[in-house]
Amino acid sequence: MKLAKAELLFAALVFLTFGLGFLIAPVQWAAVVDIVLPSPMARTDFRATYGGFETGMGVFLAACALRDHWLRPGLVALAWVAAGFGAGRLVGIVVEGTASSLMLLLVVLEWSIALVTLYVLRRLPLGSGEGSG
């Protein structure tokens, strides 16, 4: 259970760091991956999509880490989100031909997170993450 809590807290910290970065300095953070935000509407949508989702996910994962009966749902969510990011990025690499070092590193990192999370989930004792309250 300690490993599951540690992974969820670490992931929460990562999501919160990125989410707050996207909320506070969207133009600078978007520029890292060549996204240009030319208008207030574009910046608002970027803040909502990147900042809002990442921040919300970080809060959710932290809440899951702090409640034993939420460990399994938190790990399942983290595995799906990481795998989804990796799959979406891989589609972009194939369709757009953007196999840069950064994009390839992120695909490997995202899928590694998904696989490690599934491993941690399988090691979680039965009964963890079940029940109410």
Residue entry with tokens 């890292």: 32
Widest CA span of the chain, in angstroms?
50
How far, in whole angstroms, is CA 121 from its chain's centroid?
16
pLDDT digits (tens, 9 = 90+) for 51-61: 999 999 999 99
φ, ψ of residue 61 to 5 degrees: the values are: -65, -40
* C-alpha torsion angle, residues 50, 94, 103, 114 (rounded to 10): 70
pLDDT digits (tens, 9 = 90+) for 90-110: 999 999 998 999 999 999 999
